[in-house]
Amino acid sequence: MSGTQPKTSPGNAHEKAQRARIYAFARNDLVWLVIFAAALALASWASIRMTQHSGRIAAIWLTNAVVLVTLFKTETKRWAQFALVAFVANVVADRLSGDSMATACVLSFANLAEIFVVAAPMRRLKRDADIRNLRSLATFMALALGPATLLSAALAAGYLATAQGASFIGSLTNWYAADAFGLILVVPIAMLVKRSDILAIFKPDQLLGTAASVAVLGLVFAAMIAWPTLPFGFLLFPCILLLAFQQGYAGVAMGLALITAVMLSNLLLNHGFLSTSHAPLREKIFFLQFFVVMLTATMLIVAAALFEKKRMERRLREVTKSAIEARREAHRARLEADKANQTKSQFLANMSHELRTPLNAILGFSDIIRGGLPSTKCTGKCPEHAEYIHNAGSHLLDLVSDILDASKIEAGKYDLYLQHIDLAVAVRDAAALVAHRAVDGGVALRIEEPKKPLLLLLDQRAVKQIMLNLLSNAVKFTPSGGSITVTVREEHKGALVVVEDSGIGIPKSELSRLGKPFERVRSHASRAQPGTGLGLALVRSLAELHGGHMKIDSIESVGTTVSVYFPARADSAAA
């Protein structure tokens, strides 16, 4: 046999490590289950010693509360595991207390039924993870004081009455009181109070107030013992209320723990206000349970309302802070956008100005060449080429002018020079400038004017630009044989100019886009025509500067109607 050891493959090492982790987890899980079972058995045995079914007196049943808290903090897939442990622990405790196996099993089953009638709906409604909010707490209390404890009490009392001849009503009352007392007193406190809450009570800034509240509570206890015939017990409500306002759930938990411990001790020692009653001990304990349950339920609702209030206040502060930050960011973004917009407008204005100088030279010399002056010696196709140059230059100059005007309007630097003009005359002058284009395109151009002058306070250059853009578009998109009608009429204390053509029309889906800078109709017919989409945007902006508005109506393949309204008091509107 060789002395060398066999090598371990990486795969085997990984599997061994994984098995080791599983075994370690299983060992840890088993340890916690054993601890859980031992705690349940101890709690069950201690509670049974004070539970009245056959000679024993009910006080508080802790086991179901402990199991319920565990289920609330555990994944649903592990509930069956904890339920089995709880069942076995209850059976063991019952057997140690002298119950038969049948009795132990039935009573343990009744306890499990109570637990799951609370746990299942809470998990289903997703209200078991955090019962600090009022809705989750109210749901738990309704289940705990209603169907859960009533069902388990009815099952247990029915069995005890049948198998042992016990009083059904007495067993039902004792079981219900003990279980309701345990659930209401233990579960909310265990779920609601965190370690940080307990530590907060003893912080230097909170310690004095906590000590004062506890001292007042101590004085009430002393008064209850010294003068048992007087109703000092009702002073416990304001004491717990004070702790709730001071420390929230932690204050309520501390106060209720002190009250429960003192009142149970006083009862067993026959002190306090219950000692003056000649009722049987079972009835005294039932009254004590009822008193503490009502006190607990009331104070938990108050604490939940205070918690909701504080959470809403905290959320409001967060939202307010976020809103302030968002406002600051928006202000910074607006300043940056204004700066960028100003830079853009300045750039466009400078470029437009710089472009106009060479364009004017191009237009001037091309006009001289196409005019055929003797000094130019332009023969053959030279005049035709000069015409192309002049037309292209004119189009480019119009484009530059539109960009410059658009940038001025956007920057708020377009100033109107208002004067009283006859709108019909201004429209007629603009139509004369495009009349030759209409004739060349075989389009009939007709103007309908009012019989009397229509005087308005307008910017003559702006009106001319509006009409040139509208008429140019109408001529451009109206095929040969079509017509354009321009109507000028008085309307609503102002004037309306309507340009109606029989052109290619505009699809309904595109109408909302028109009138915005650089937006054009996206159709095959419109793409064949040159343009930037600035024309209608300028018309809309210039009309609005006068206090008016523009409206577009169109039917595809039928024609387009553009209406521009100018108010009569354009001076006030423009200002």
The pLDDT tens digits of the residues spanning 113-155 come to: 999 999 999 999 888 877 777 788 888 889 988 999 999 999 9
Q: What pLDDT is attached to residue 5?
A: 42
Whether residue 393 has pLDDT greater than 90? no
Residue 505 CB neighbours (<10 A):
18
Q: Which amino acid is at 368?
A: I
Nearest to residue 36, comparing CAs of 9, 74, 70, 73? 70
Q: What pLDDT is attached to residue 270?
A: 66
- Which has more confidence, 15 or 1? 15
Q: Which fold has domain 417-574?
A: Heat Shock Protein 90 (3.30.565)
- Which has more confidence, 549 or 181? 549
Q: What pLDDT is attached to residue 495?
A: 92
β-pair type (494-501, 559-567): antiparallel
Q: Is 112 exposed, middle or buried (0-12, 13-18, 19+ CB in 10 A)?
A: middle
Nearest to residue 247, comparing CAs of 215, 206, 290, 218? 206
Q: How far apart are CA 520 and CA 511, in angstroms?
A: 10
Which residues make beta-bridge pairs with 563? 498, 551
Using CA atoms, how far residue 301 sits from 125, 131, 288, in Å, is: 20, 11, 20
Half-sphere exposure of 292 (CA within 13 A, CB side): 29
Asked if the domains at 19-192 and 417-574 fall in one CATH topology, the answer is no
Element (H, E) at 551: strand 549-555
How far is C-alpha 421 from the chain's CA centre? 56
Using CA atoms, how far residue 268 sits from 12, 57, 291, 303, 475, in Å, is: 65, 12, 16, 30, 107
Q: How far apart are CA 421 and CA 415, in angstroms?
A: 17
Whether residue 53 has pLDDT greater than 50? no
Q: Report the 3 state secondary structure along 360-382.
A: HHHHHHHHHHHCCCHHHCCCCCH
As a residue count, the chain comes to 575
Mean pLDDT across the stretch 65-86? 86
What does the buried/exposed string (b/e) look like for 263-290 if buried means 16 or more CB atoms within 10 Å of the residue's CB?
Answer: bbebbeeebbbbeeeeeeebebbbebbe
Among the residue ranges 362-371, 539-548, 550-559, the one predicted with the least confidence is 362-371
Three-state SS at 410: helix
Q: Which two tokens stand for residue 241?
A: 């209320």
Q: What pLDDT is attached to residue 392?
A: 76
Collect all residues with Cβ–Cβ distance below 8 Å to 122 and sequence separation of at least 6: 72, 128, 131, 136, 139, 140, 143
Q: What pLDDT is attached to residue 158?
A: 92
Which residues make beta-bridge pairs with 497? 488, 564
> In the CATH scheme, what is the code of domain 19-192?
1.10.1760
How far is C-alpha 244 from the chain's CA centre? 31
Spell out the long-range contacts of 200-203 with Cβ–Cβ below 8 A and sequence spacing 24 or more.
Answer: 200/247, 200/250, 201/247, 201/250, 201/251, 201/254
Convert the pLDDT of each residue in 513-544 to its tens digit: 665 554 555 454 444 444 456 778 888 888 88
Among the residue ranges 108-122, 253-267, 327-341, 409-423, the one predicted with the least confidence is 253-267
Among the residue ranges 281-285, 446-450, 488-492, the one predicted with the least confidence is 281-285
Helices then strands, each counted (H, E), the chain: 18, 7
Q: Average pLDDT of the chain? A: 77
DSSP secondary structure code for residue 523 in this structure: S
Residue with tokens 């967060």: 318
Maximal C-alpha separation, the chain: 139
Band (pLDDT 50/70/90 cuts) for residue 26 is very low
Annotate 50-115 with DSSP letters as a single string: T--SSS-------HHHHHHHHHHTS-GGGHHHHHHHHHHHHHHHHHHTT--HHHHHHHHHHHHHHH
Band (pLDDT 50/70/90 cuts) for residue 243 is confident
Q: What pLDDT is attached to residue 499?
A: 93
Q: How far apart are CA 396 and CA 442, in angstroms?
A: 25
CA-only gyration radius of the chain, Å:
46
- Which has more confidence, 315 or 133? 315
Domain edges within the chain: 19-192, 417-574
pTM to 2 decimal places? 0.47
β-pair type (455-459, 494-501): unpaired
Q: What pLDDT is attached to residue 343?
A: 78
Q: How far apart are CA 129 and CA 123, in angstroms?
A: 8
Using CA atoms, how far residue 401 sits from 348, 406, 432, in Å, is: 10, 8, 20
Q: Which two tokens stand for residue 119?
A: 């746990």
Q: How far apart are CA 333 and CA 329, in angstroms?
A: 6
Q: What pLDDT is attached to residue 25?
A: 41
Three-state SS at 569: coil
